[in-house]
Amino acid sequence: MALLNILRYPDPRLHKIAAPVTEFGTDRLRKLVADMAETMYDAPGVGLAATQVDVHERVVTIDVSEAQDKLIVFINPEITWASDEKQVYDEGCLSVPGVYDGVERPAQVKVRAFDVDGKEFNIDADGLLAVCIQHEMDHLMGKVFVEYLSPLKRNRIKAKLQKEERGMARDAAQRSARR
């Protein structure tokens, strides 16, 4: 297994649209899922979409359990039903480090997806799991949660992350100059 590099907003690759997985049960798909789970737990985070590690296929890993021992892998997930009732949850994202803000979404959803072997399953989700599934499925459509916020907030977040990015690049350059 290996840790994967997580793209940071506003990286344009976060806006690519993921293609459905067509081959199940392959070593390649198993390795992608294992690496994504390892990367998610290491971060640590409760969900990761393949888009965030620059793989543009409909694959999501989620674990919202307290003990982080209930991994769910969603391949080609589809929302088959969403409640009229909404909930607002303070969301964060591994691609937008240090930023949390309220996003309103349906409070309950039903999701149909496939596991790595291509076996179909259905999940009724509410609470954090419902938030997380919808957030990760947005990633597969090239959408980052900050796009639900006002343009003013979004531009502030973009500027903050770009500044941090430049700082990290400068630190790396200084480190290599000192060698």
Give the whole-angstrom CA distance, residue 31 versus residue 5. 15
Give the contact letters, 54-93, x = binds to Ni ion (CB under 5 A), - = no. Answer: ---------------------------------------x
Cβ nearer to Ni ion, comparing 25 with 44: 44
β-bridge mates for residue 114, sequence order: 75, 120
The reply to whether 164 belongs to the active site is no
84-100 b/e (C-beta count within 10 Å ≥ 16 → b): eeebebebbbbbbeebe
φ, ψ of residue 134 to 5 degrees: the values are -65, -40
Indicate left, alpha or beta for 109 from its phi (over 0: left) and psi (-120 to 50: alpha): beta
* Nearby residues of 3 by Cβ (< 8 Å), 6 or more positions away: 35, 38, 39, 42
Q: Are 105 and 87 in contact (CB under 8 A)?
A: yes
Please, what is the minimum distance in Å from the beta carbon of residue 139 to Ni ion? 6
Cβ nearer to Ni ion, comparing 50 with 93: 93
Would you count residue 48 as binding Ni ion (CB under 5 A)?
no
Cβ nearer to Ni ion, comparing 29 with 93: 93
Would you count residue 33 as binding Ni ion (CB under 5 A)?
no
Catalytic residue among 66, 136, 147, 164: 136
Question: In the bound complex, which residue of the shown chain has the CB atom lying closest to Ni ion?
Answer: 93
Please, what is the minimum distance in Å from the beta carbon of residue 2 to Ni ion? 20
Please, what is the minimum distance in Å from the beta carbon of residue 1 to Ni ion? 21
Q: What are the residues binding Ni ion (CB under 5 A)?
A: 93
Active site residues: 136
